[in-house]
Amino acid sequence: MPRFNPLLTQLRTYPAIAVDEAKARLQKAGRTVYDFGKGDPAEPPPEFVREALVSGVDERLPYPRVMGSDAVRESIAAYMQRRFGVLLDPATQIVPTSGSKEAVFHLPLLVIDRNAPDRGVVFPDPGYPAYQRGALFAGAEAIALRLEGDHILRPECIDPEIIARTRMIWLNTPHNPSGAVTTLEDLQRAADFCRSHDILLVSDETYADVYHADPPHSLLECGTNGVLALHSLSKRSGMTGYRSGFVAGDADVMARFRTLRTNPGVVPSDFVNAAATAAWADDDHTEDRRAIFRAKKALFLAMFDALNMRVIGREASLYLWVAVPGGDDEAYAKRLLDIGIVVSPGRIFGVEGAGVGYIRLAMVPTIDECKAAIAAWTEMES
């Protein structure tokens, strides 16, 4: 028998898989399932995106390049200028990725020396699980920073002893699972602090275009020096299955990132880049999607207000992060499962005990399904 990487057994089942398993059990029992577990929106991307993908399938497809096409990087640069007022050089400051998850996973490899005492990667806890996993597989010290209150990670408030051994810090705005949005002032403070400590600051902005009122800012608005931002078409354009995103920022860091990316061979296909070129160029479909998520959230917010349940993530993201009565998120999620409603118990997003007492709802089912689930939930609580 081969000897395996112990991380494969030490890390618990990837949260999205655990939620999928709960859903499969319900479906097997022939139950109607309302799945608010996984953040995979039901609304398809616009037809022109699919057409761009299909017409991008040439007779022969050579190996795709790490850099992708000029067209996709130019479309991304135009998007960043329109959306955030950030000017990027498509030749040196942008690299398309196969969704943002693989970039989250691979990025610690850029800065971590697994034999050095300073090999810390700091990430928000609760948070997207790939921050911890990418750090661990890279041989880093994975440092989960407990978020309290407003759920904002502020690097300048981290214990100096931790900072002394940290090489990279993850921000996530809007934040999964809470939906909290980091202000421009907080982003600027984080950027200044990390620049002065030679720490790579990376902002995961996967949900930047899923918001309610005010558009969230990008870290790159604070200058690109020493920092990176990650974006994705998964939630913005409903393109989870296409696997398409990008990393952008400091030209010197990006040059190293391109070198790193010649190694794993994880590069978007040319036809995916063709679809991405079309998707980043259009903002109308994004506005339509925002309206749908807003409408779904409004239905749930009315219910949570009526039930007197506290909701953290009202500002942005696909999610609602809700404190459960009694404080036992697992028990509450189990009660919901019994009436066919799948949610994520908050603790699955926590490393050091964070997330306990909350559930996360992804606004994925249709409006009609949301209404049916709300009726069942209200009855459960009555």
Ligand X SMILES: Cc1ncc(COP(=O)(O)O)c(C=O)c1O
173: contact with ligand X by CB under 6 A: no
In terms of CB distance, is 215 or 251 closer to ligand X? Answer: 215
What angle do helix axes 270-280 and 47-55 make, rounded to 10 degrees?
Answer: 150
In terms of CB distance, is 101 or 297 closer to ligand X? Answer: 101
In angstroms, what is the minimal distance from the CB of 103 to ligand X?
8
Alpha-helical segments (H) within 128-249 = 130-137, 160-164, 184-196, 233-236
In angstroms, what is the minimal distance from the CB of 311 to ligand X?
18
In angstroms, what is the minimal distance from the CB of 366 to ligand X?
20
In terms of CB distance, is 128 or 377 closer to ligand X? Answer: 128
CA distance 71 to 277: 6
Q: Name residues contacting ligand X, limited to 186-225 (CB under 6 A).
A: 204, 206
172: contact with ligand X by CB under 6 A: yes
Q: Name residues contacting ligand X, limited to 93-132 (CB under 6 A).
A: 99-101, 104, 128
Q: Give yes or no for a contact between 239 and 49, defined as CB atoms under 8 angstroms apart.
A: yes
347: which 2 tokens?
Answer: 């603790």
User: Site for ligand X (CB under 6 A): which residue of 132, 218, 234, 277?
Assistant: 234
Q: List, as one string, the DSSP characters of 82-98.
A: HHH-----TTTSEEEES
286: contact with ligand X by CB under 6 A: no
240: contact with ligand X by CB under 6 A: yes
Classify the C-alpha dihedral 44-206-174-220 as positive or negative: negative
Q: Which residues pair with 361 in a beta bridge?
A: 320
Task: Please give the torsion angle defined by the CA atoms of residues 197, 202, 207 and 212, in that order, rounded to the nearest 10 degrees.
Answer: 20
In terms of CB distance, is 102 or 141 closer to ligand X? Answer: 102
In angstroms, what is the minimal distance from the CB of 206 to ligand X?
4
Residues that bind ligand X (CB under 6 A): 39, 99-101, 104, 128, 172, 176, 204, 206, 232, 234, 240, 245
